[in-house]
Homo-oligomer: A and B are copies of this chain.
Amino acid sequence: MAPPVSRDTLNPKVLQCEYAVRGEIVTIAQRLQDELKAKPGSQPFDEILYCNIGNPQSLSQQPITFFREVLALCDHPAILDKSETQGLFSADAIQRAWQILDQIPGRATGAYSHSQGIKGLRDAIAAGIEARDGFPANPNDIFLTDGASPAVHMMMQLLISSEKDGILCPIPQYPLYSASIALHGGSLVPYYLDEATGWGLEISELKKQLEDAKSKGITVRALVVINPGNPTGQVLAEDNQRAIVEFCKQEGLVLLADEVYQENVYVPQKKFHSFKKISRSMGYGEEDICLVSFQSVSKGYYGECGKRGGYMEVTGFSPEVREQIYKVASVNLCSNISGQILASLVMSPPKVGDESYESYSAEKNRILSSLARRAKTLEDAFNSLEGVTCNKAEGAMYLFPRIRLPQKAIKAAEAAKKAPDAFYCQRLLNATGVVVVPGSGFGQVPGTWHFRCTILPQEDKIPAIVSRLTEFHKSFMAEFHD
């Protein structure tokens, strides 16, 4: 008898979906790590360096103390009025924990909340958005989620009925988008970012791809913009953002704004502006544009990936569509309460005058300035390699260098049945223990090759990484020289 499930009977959308940042290269890395553990010295390196994923705390970034104090107190409120607690926790963390508990019906941190998240926490988030943007935010527009990924899935589920529904996505893109569109059976309509102008987003390209999709019978429902960019690291200029908003308004597209790197901007000449702020500053309100902004506790200076907190701010949709979003959120009951609390904390951190402010702000600045230095060092290192060019990481947590591979390397990759960039990345891993993700997992102009490397390894390790990368690259190029 045939087994109940096989590849042939599985949902073909699942088979089609790919998620490169946890793809084959990571499986190989995990195997190497096991080998290294079982047999120290068996590899030409001492440890695996996971530069495949924006996971700061896995590379020793420490959490912000104030945030963790509040989380611990909310997890175990019984200690809040014990005298020892005052010796262990800062006064404002204790105060904030009380304040949060008072916003939770019955102070029950172990209860399902409202499907959109605890109202008091949404109030704090809305206030944080207002302070950031200078425009009003409505707590009823906030949907708290287990990180940004489930929020993206939720929107794709709403917007996609069949392969006739298209979503405009940047190429290169973060593979969550391609995976989610594949899982929901829609069509990814690509628009190419221009590497030559620092991964510029051209409205003419959006128009061209939109028309092209239309001519194939695809109705484009939404435009995904990732700002700051992932994997590309660029920060959009304000006038570019305005043009994007105008485009969405004119074409009747939902703007899905992935703004999870809003705190990660490393260059003084660029500043993060939310698409909500841009829209409102253009005079566009609820009636004019459908906008979803995604935020996460996993990125920024906080990097709390494991807490799975985040939210989406949903504006411009009709009440009947909102009701459907609410229903889909309800089927999963609610996002985890610690993640909800953390999302409120990152949007309302300690303020000048609070006991924790100085230590909080020192921790934050230390992390962000170190990230900026690491980005620059790695960028310079990549640019010094033969045949490699790398745009500036203005923001986010990644560099996406382009590698020009010798024909012999491309032939060798073909013989090994691998994409040339995957071939390069696997050689790099085997030689150095550094895990980066081939550009083919993000999409790239056909015939060009890239990889994505996070800027997250600890600063004192960067020199060694740079010399390992450089040495590997030289020997790779020498081996395959034309």
Interface of A toward B, CB cutoff 8 Å? 1-7, 9-15, 17-19, 22, 53, 55-60, 63, 65, 68-69, 71-73, 75-76, 78-79, 82, 84-85, 87-89, 105-106, 108-113, 115, 146-147, 149-150, 153, 157-161, 176, 179-180, 183-184, 221-222, 248, 252-254, 290, 298, 303-308, 317-318, 320-321, 324, 327-328, 330-339
Pair B106/A60 contact, Cβ less than 8 Å: yes
What B residues does A84 contact at CB under 8 A?
Answer: 84-85, 87-88
Residue of B nearest to A180 (CB): B331
Knowing A111-B58, A290-B3, A306-B113, say if A79 contacts B75 (CB, 8 Å): no
Pair A68/B58 contact, Cβ less than 8 Å: no
A18, A65, A158, A308 — which one has the most chain B CB atoms within 10 A of its CB? Answer: A308
Pair B57/A110 contact, Cβ less than 8 Å: yes
The minimal Cβ–Cβ distance linking A339 to chain B, given in whole angstroms, is 6
The minimal Cβ–Cβ distance linking A363 to chain B, given in whole angstroms, is 12
The minimal Cβ–Cβ distance linking A404 to chain B, given in whole angstroms, is 31
Pair B183/A14 contact, Cβ less than 8 Å: no
Docked complex Cα distance between A252 and B6 (Å): 12
What B residues does A7 contact at CB under 8 A?
Answer: 320-321, 324
**A321 touches which one: B10, B75, B157, B324 (CB < 8 A)?**
B10
What B residues does A108 contact at CB under 8 A?
Answer: 57-58, 60, 306
Knowing A327-B19, A331-B149, say if A69 contacts B76 (CB, 8 Å): yes
Docked complex Cα distance between A68 and B72 (Å): 9
Pair B4/A222 contact, Cβ less than 8 Å: yes
What B residues does A13 contact at CB under 8 A?
Answer: 161
**A12 touches which one: B149, B161, B221, B308 (CB < 8 A)?**
B161
Pair B221/A158 contact, Cβ less than 8 Å: no
What B residues does A111 contact at CB under 8 A?
Answer: 55-58, 305-306
Knowing A7-B321, A11-B160, A79-B72, say if A336 contacts B306 (CB, 8 Å): yes
**A147 touches which one: B63, B78, B333 (CB < 8 A)?**
B333
Residue of B nearest to A339 (CB): B336
Residue of B nearest to A115 (CB): B22
The minimal Cβ–Cβ distance linking A279 to chain B, given in whole angstroms, is 14
Pull 15 A–B residue pairs with CB atoms less than 8 Å apart, ordered by A: A5-B318, A11-B158, A56-B111, A58-B105, A58-B108, A58-B111, A60-B106, A60-B108, A84-B84, A112-B305, A149-B333, A150-B332, A183-B331, A307-B337, A308-B337
Knowing A58-B105, A307-B338, say if A331 contacts B5 (CB, 8 Å): no
What B residues does A335 contact at CB under 8 A?
Answer: 146, 308
Residue of B nearest to A179 (CB): B331
Docked complex Cα distance between A2 and B337 (Å): 38
